[in-house]
Structure 1
Amino acid sequence: MKATDSTQPAAQEETSGAVDESSLNLDASEYYLNRELTWLEFNKRVLHEAADERTPLLERLKFIAIVSANMDEFFMKRLGGLKQQVGAGVATLTVDGRTPQQQIDETSQVVREIESQMRENYLQITEKLREHDIAILSYDELDRADKNYLREYYYENIYPLVTPQSIDPAHPFPFISNLSLNLLVLVRYPGASDKTSLTRIKVPVGAGIPRFLKLTDRRHYVPLEYVIANNLDMLLPEMEVLSCEVFRVTRNANTERSEEHADDLLSLIESELRERRFAPIVRLQVQKDMKPVHRGMLAAELFLDEESDVYEVISMPAMRDLFELASLDVPELRDPPHKPIDHPELVDTRSIFHIIRERGPLLLQHPYESFGTSVERFLKEASTDPKVRAIKMTLYRTSSDTKVVDYLISAARNGKQVAVVVELKARFDEAANIRWANRMEEAGIHVTYGVVGLKTHSKIILVVRNDYSGIKRYLHIGTGNYHAGTARLYSDLGILTNDEDLGRDATELFNYLTTGYTQERSYRKLLPSPKMLKNALLSKIKRERKLHSPETPGLIQFKMNALEDADITRALYEAARDGVRIDLIVRDTCRFRPGIPGLSETARVIGIVGRFLEHTRIYYFQNGGEEEYFIGSADAMKRNLESRVEVVTPVSDKKLCEELRFILNTQLNDQRSAWEMQSDGSFIQRQPTSEAEAVGCQELLIQSAEKRAKQATKAAKGKKKRRLRRNLR
């Protein structure tokens, strides 16, 4: 099915011919946007949802929390890595022409702009929430009864968890844990006007302790640090409190060490986690009115540069905790409720393997379609089906509310051969993955940790079943993690199939993952990285250039989280320069610049920001009319293509290709949730010009899923009626 004209960039002239390659230097840094800066620009687009009055109020609060959490992650992962490069004396320029220090300086400025906008949005939203009698109160706004209630609640439920730590010659500066919220208290000893001391108090948020304490009879909340700060007489009796100031630290999360000489990968990761706890601090956040001497003391004790590493917080630190309030059950202030439908073909109660064999392959669209009644059902039935002989899968991230591990353990107990490749180095999920791995090993599951030096990021399940005609292989290949929580919040795709060639390829892949041996691995359809995927993408881009002509213009469409790889970017430039139409739907990082005269005039880049996090990867090539669609786990990033095990699969079934075409067209034509990149790398949000255009692509995909469900229900009822009529004859 050929892509329709609606997918072509508007208001662009057909390129009459290729530009002379010698006229442009595609190695020039000006053609490549910076990875860190474009990721921060993505967060500006997310933050815009917090300012957009079309977004319900509590959802706007949620977007502030998302950006706050993203900023924490940026400092832990990206800025921490840049600081390590500076410390190691690395001066190598990126493809966009920046040194590590230049990136630190430029990103620091953007971060401060984002935090300033976050503060403005927070104040606007909380003011509007008060109109709905939802309020975050300062302590001065409380009456005596409220203060007494909070004091008693604090004393009974939180006070035993709080430990003040003195800072003086007899007590060295205490360890400050990552992302912890802290009070720095200056006290004077009774009867000694010249004797003062500093005390650090950690605010015990988490582990069941909320950041915002609710008053009894209304939706009014007080931050926990306010309650502690205004009841210090409990912790520091008889001491005179001279000041109480809030601060927070962020530590570097880049503590990875080489696996090459590790005797035990599990022990290595556990050691890295311990090191991360004590890793260098890369950011200190302090309240704006903190005493200069205290600010300087903290910076010195934490080995930070007071000018560049200290960030002032005017309103509220750690706004990521606003997730607590964004989840309030106030329907009129939230997005309309969304319940994923069951895939129309999976409403059938017969064996899922019979359904796949007779009606497959099936394309799964999360969160529009249920993860539980598709992927989890696939594993559940595999665990109990007496004809299933083996289950193999990769596990990058999962969660306690996901039943995947339970079904794998059940399968092992039912005598199936179960092998799981667990990625221990999934950032920030290492500890959880160690627990899952230990639990599965105890149940008799064969657990391995992938190939030395490569992260296993692929999303694939292989079920080997003894069908009526012999051994058959059934597969799930996806773009998202086997994680029930994110399956409700992220847009992802998956395919259920019993394609014989894909099954054989999957067998080869798992043999590689469990042994690390690469000799004579051949794949019929799958495009795994690091061996094949990048070369395949470059080859297909080059092929599109060769097939392009004014009469039959070429078309390449990629939907992904990030386009960072310089080689892929350059290849796309070359294709666009030859006149090939390039449509890129990129969530965050993007090095490619559209609309450059003589180079990328036939290209456009858009980003979608909505209620769900865009996480799908689709690669499309028009291929002279012999269209090719691919989905998988890999973004066009150097790390994904060269140092991770990824899996991208072709999708050739006509019906499934039509579904992918609908997704691409719906997003490319979006006038509500789409932002369009300009030639300088900035983004402008599209604006609807009609009521129909005011509906974003994610809402349209919800409506499409609901329509499929209704049609399936109607068809099932019709089938039942016809069966009843036959029985009555």
Structure 2
Amino acid sequence: MTQHPIPLDTDDDLDPQAASEGAAERYINRELSWLEFNARVLSEAENLNYPLLERLRFLSISGSNLDEFMMIRVAGLVGQAQRGIERLSIDGRSPSQQLAAIRDAVQDINQKQQDIWRDLRTALDEAGISIADDRRVSAVTYRTLKAYFLEEIAPVITPQALDPAHPFPFVSNEGIGVLFTLTRESDGEQVVEMILIPSGLPRFVRVPGEDAVYISIESLIARFAKHLFPGFAIEGDGAFRVLRDSDIEIEEEAEDLVRTFRSAIQRRRRGQVIQLEIEENFDPVAEEILREQLGIHGGTVVKTDGMIGIAGLADIVAEDRPDLKFANYSPRYPERVREHDGDCFSAIREKDIVIHHPYESFEVVVDFLRQAAVDPDVVAIKQTLYRAGNQSPVIAALIAAAEDGKSVTAVVELKARFDEEQNLLWASQLERAGVQVIYGFVDWKTHAKVSMVVRREEQGLRTYCHFGTGNYHPINAKIYTDLSFFTADPKFGRDAAKLFNFVTGYVEPRRLETLAISPIQLREQLYTLIDKEIENAGNGRPAAIWAKLNSLTDKGVIDRLYAASQAGVEIQLVVRGISCLRAGVEGLSQNIRVKSIIGRFLEHSRIWAFAAGYKMPSERAKVFISSADAMSRNLNRRVEVMVPIRNRTVHDQVLGQVLLANLLDSEQSWEQQPDGSYERMETGEKPFNCHRYFMTNPSLSGRGGSLEAGGVPKLALRRGGA
């Protein structure tokens, strides 16, 4: 599993109206809910059921998550507070009040990270992986480190005196440096020197040899600093790290979007300092220099008694110790496609297919596009691209199709946070190959995940569509749980064409036959579906809502769910990250249960299911997959799709397998309490792990017969069992 921070929901999700009275009793603060989520991620680093390096991975991920939270969410609140913007959060707090609460929670997380790191460091040492930062090493190791420092490090670092004759250097976002307090031996004068660590250097250096010995780059520099400062006595040293405001603001009237984004990316690197992280015993004089020169006004200074930059531990996770990691998992290739000798179009033409990543290979999505690229009967390909990764076979397939003379259109979203540079690069390569590249709307992100292939066949042109809940990113597809839905149904094809016309030509789609598209009518359709459940409950019919989301922050959706709960609708929600809804509050949400699953894979798919008057799970329930979370930004300011699942087989797979397994999971689940905190669920007499279930059972898109595990076991709605 490759190290990745869990994606942070970043855009502001407040409704324009001020928070109502009693808001704190109805809603949970978004930022504090996110911090509660990251605390759950961090708790997995203490999970003794996980291999040691996987626990270290969770610690590292919690650090990456917290860094991004500070650079985006906290930076936004600091900016509001500095400009005197008193816009209230969903629970009625001002920016200053939120910042105060956030700092207390962040302090607790920072301390817990250091406590866990100390425990893991001891366990790593016992397992044969040593961190030599502040420890004595053998003579052989010392000589090896010294040679590495003199040959590989010293030539690329530059000591700089901090005095009136030398301007204070720029410290980049996430930059790490070391300050040294020196005394010149010739005259006893004190000097402060800074060494900024180039981003190209490894965060941890592994000593060559069989023994796994690591040392952080800042500790390595401090250990051999005497070779940098001949004629000086080193009185002290201390490492620091800087986080800056990394949000990008784009003016709506920007004439050249590409040029505007290139400029904005440069500004991001020089954003306001939001957090200065220093070692606990940092020299007070040196600390004051940093505070003054970095201009820390609304920012936070974090003093740590352990390691700065917890996210950097990902380097150690890469150690080649399979005995300390999850057993390697190879996703299955969909059996349905194999039955058609690998011909994706033949398999899809037979009937709709759903693919469940990462248990089933993302390679089938790539093969769908690769086959389209070389198929002489394919006349056109249209594709949305939000995140595609650094090495993208999807991009390669689109380029090959264009070079083969096919009409290829790619909607490249430049506003995909922290992927802007990569997407600019892909856009340039696609355009050179002859792909028609569209950047979509200036003020809306195109977040829908859609591929559309038009093929000439005997009966005329046929459109094949792929709708996904996740990005076209081959690395993420190995660790994110997502759904890919393939169909050749003409109704979906016509709606997909209207969606692309909307993004490329601003032609608002009318008379849609299948899809719900935001920001046009997706919200309204959700409301209608919820209201129908309320009506059914009032008429004494079975009424239930099941949903799986990454975040639930939209006030309108939450209020609709509260109304449904009060009407007697049974609501079960699997919300991985932020939930501003208070579950289980008598008279408000007593019929709502919210749980979060944190485990080996990152839960990412979005699914809605509505009972429609029948006991769940039912073949008559209305089931949808979506690219959108229940957030204001997804429903109001993004181009998203919600896709109805009407094929009987696929419907049963999504509802009766994927969604139901998530509801039944007990081993990896946390249940939300009315105060917004989360508690691990009791596993009960029959523990159930949905990740293990899908790893060890046949693919959903299989032929339905016996495979290596003897068929897909039937799940039953019994809490804690299968």
> Structure 2 length as normaliser, TM-score?
0.92
Letter in 2 for 1:147: Y
Letter in 2 for 1:339: S
Identity of aligned residues (%): 36
Cα distance in 1 for partners of 2:675, 2:135 equals 48
| Matching residue within 260, 263, 272 for 2:255 | 263
1:710 is displaced (CA, Å) by 9.6
Give the structure 1 partner of residue 15 of structure 2: none
- SS at the partner of 2:349? helix
> Which digits, 9 at most, give the CA deviation of each residue in 1:53-94, with x for residues without a partner?
112111100000000000110011100111111122111212
| Matching residue within 397, 422, 442 for 1:407 | 397
Give the structure 2 partner of residue 89 of structure 1: 84
Letter in 1 for 2:573: L
1:562 partnered with 2:551 = yes
> Which digits, 9 at most, give the CA deviation of each residue in 1:328-372, with x for residues without a partner?
2322221122110011111232521111101x2100100000001
Q: Would the alpha carbon gap of residues 51 and 311 (structure 1) be closer, same or farther in structure 2, given more than 3 Å must change? A: same
8 A contact 1:61–1:125 mirrored in 2: yes
Give the structure 2 partner of residue 481 of structure 1: 471
Give the structure 2 partner of residue 539 of structure 1: 528
1:337 partnered with 2:332 = no
Cα distance in 1 for partners of 2:51, 2:705 equals 32
8 A contact 1:605–1:676 mirrored in 2: yes
Cα distance in 2 for partners of 1:503, 1:253 equals 39
1:400 is displaced (CA, Å) by 2.6
Q: Would the alpha carbon gap of residues 379 and 302 (structure 1) be closer, same or farther in structure 2, given more than 3 Å must change? A: same
Give the structure 1 partner of residue 461 of structure 2: 471
Give the structure 1 partner of residue 433 of structure 2: 443
1:222 partnered with 2:211 = no
8 A contact 1:215–1:221 mirrored in 2: no
Give the structure 2 partner of residue 653 of structure 1: 647
8 A contact 1:368–1:705 mirrored in 2: no
The worse-fitting range, judged by mean Cα deviation, of 433-442 and 88-97 is 88-97
The worse-fitting range, judged by mean Cα deviation, of 295-304 and 422-431 is 295-304
1:580 is displaced (CA, Å) by 0.3
1:26 is displaced (CA, Å) by 9.0
> Which digits, 9 at most, give the CA deviation of each residue in 1:360-398, with x for residues without a partner?
2100100000001x1000000000000000000110001
Letter in 2 for 1:332: D
Q: Would the alpha carbon gap of residues 663 and 94 (structure 1) be closer, same or farther in structure 2, given more than 3 Å must change? A: same
1:189 is displaced (CA, Å) by 2.1
1:133 partnered with 2:128 = yes
Cα distance in 1 for partners of 2:707, 2:24 equals 57
Cα distance in 2 for partners of 1:628, 1:147 equals 66
1:527 partnered with 2:520 = no
> Which digits, 9 at most, give the CA deviation of each residue in 1:585-617, with x for residues without a partner?
001110111111112111100000001111110
| Matching residue within 17, 24, 47 for 1:29 | 24
Give the structure 2 partner of residue 234 of structure 1: 227
8 A contact 1:76–1:253 mirrored in 2: yes
Give the structure 2 partner of residue 356 of structure 1: 348
| Matching residue within 172, 176, 185 for 1:177 | 172
Alignment of 1:153-232 (within 5 A): 153-193=148-188, 195-206=189-200, 209-232=202-225
1:321 partnered with 2:316 = no
> Which digits, 9 at most, give the CA deviation of each residue in 1:290-319, with x for residues without a partner?
02222222112112149x610012111111
Q: Would the alpha carbon gap of residues 160 and 287 (structure 1) be closer, same or farther in structure 2, given more than 3 Å must change? A: same
Give the structure 2 partner of residue 283 of structure 1: 275
- SS at the partner of 1:222? strand
8 A contact 1:631–1:649 mirrored in 2: yes
Letter in 2 for 1:241: I
Q: Would the alpha carbon gap of residues 707 and 660 (structure 1) be closer, same or farther in structure 2, given more than 3 Å must change? A: closer
1:327 is displaced (CA, Å) by 2.7
Higher relative contact order (CA closer than 8 Å, sequence separation 6+)? 1
Cα distance in 1 for partners of 2:136, 2:387 equals 43
1:713 is displaced (CA, Å) by 7.6
Give the structure 2 partner of residue 627 of structure 1: 621
- SS at the partner of 2:613? helix
Structure 2: tracts of 5 or more residues without a match: 1-19, 615-619, 709-722
8 A contact 2:222–2:237 mirrored in 1: yes
Letter in 1 for 2:267: E
- SS at the partner of 1:584? strand
- SS at the partner of 1:461? strand
1:444 is displaced (CA, Å) by 0.7
1:652 is displaced (CA, Å) by 1.0
The worse-fitting range, judged by mean Cα deviation, of 27-36 and 644-653 is 27-36
Give the structure 2 partner of residue 552 of structure 1: 541
> Which digits, 9 at most, give the CA deviation of each residue in 1:556-609, with x for residues without a partner?
111010001000000000000111011110011101111111121111000000
1:210 is displaced (CA, Å) by 4.8
Give the structure 2 partner of residue 676 of structure 1: 671
Cα distance in 2 for partners of 1:263, 1:93 equals 33
Count, aligned residues: 683
Letter in 2 for 1:394: T
Cα distance in 2 for partners of 1:666, 1:235 equals 59
Give the structure 2 partner of residue 102 of structure 1: 97
1:687 is displaced (CA, Å) by 2.4
Give the structure 2 partner of residue 644 of structure 1: 638
Give the structure 1 partner of residue 680 of structure 2: 685
Cα distance in 2 for partners of 1:351, 1:331 equals 35
Q: Would the alpha carbon gap of residues 465 and 26 (structure 1) be closer, same or farther in structure 2, given more than 3 Å must change? A: farther
1:522 is displaced (CA, Å) by 3.2
> Which digits, 9 at most, give the CA deviation of each residue in 1:197-251, with x for residues without a partner?
22211223546x3523224230121112111111113322222222111000000
Letter in 1 for 2:272: P
Cα distance in 2 for partners of 1:617, 1:424 equals 23
Structure 1: tracts of 5 or more residues without a match: 1-24, 716-729
- SS at the partner of 2:697? helix
Give the structure 2 partner of residue 697 of structure 1: 690
- Please give the root-mean-square deviation of Cα atoms over the aligned residues, in Å: 1.9
- SS at the partner of 2:499? helix
The worse-fitting range, judged by mean Cα deviation, of 655-664 and 504-513 is 655-664
1:310 partnered with 2:301 = yes
Cα distance in 2 for partners of 1:215, 1:710 equals 50
1:448 is displaced (CA, Å) by 0.9
- SS at the partner of 2:376? coil
1:106 is displaced (CA, Å) by 0.5
Give the structure 1 partner of residue 718 of structure 2: none
Give the structure 2 partner of residue 452 of structure 1: 442
1:147 is displaced (CA, Å) by 1.2
Give the structure 2 partner of residue 585 of structure 1: 574
Give the structure 2 partner of residue 369 of structure 1: 360
> Which digits, 9 at most, give the CA deviation of each residue in 1:414-446, with x for residues without a partner?
111000000011100101100000010011100
1:470 is displaced (CA, Å) by 0.4
1:507 partnered with 2:501 = no
> Which digits, 9 at most, give the CA deviation of each residue in 1:669-696, with x for residues without a partner?
1110010111111111012233x41x42
Letter in 1 for 2:385: L
1:139 is displaced (CA, Å) by 4.3
| Matching residue within 269, 278, 300 for 2:292 | 300
Give the structure 2 partner of residue 6 of structure 1: none
Letter in 1 for 2:45: A
Cα distance in 1 for partners of 2:192, 2:696 equals 59
Letter in 2 for 1:641: L
Cα distance in 2 for partners of 1:105, 1:371 equals 43
Cα distance in 1 for partners of 2:32, 2:332 equals 38
- SS at the partner of 1:680? coil
Give the structure 2 partner of residue 11 of structure 1: none
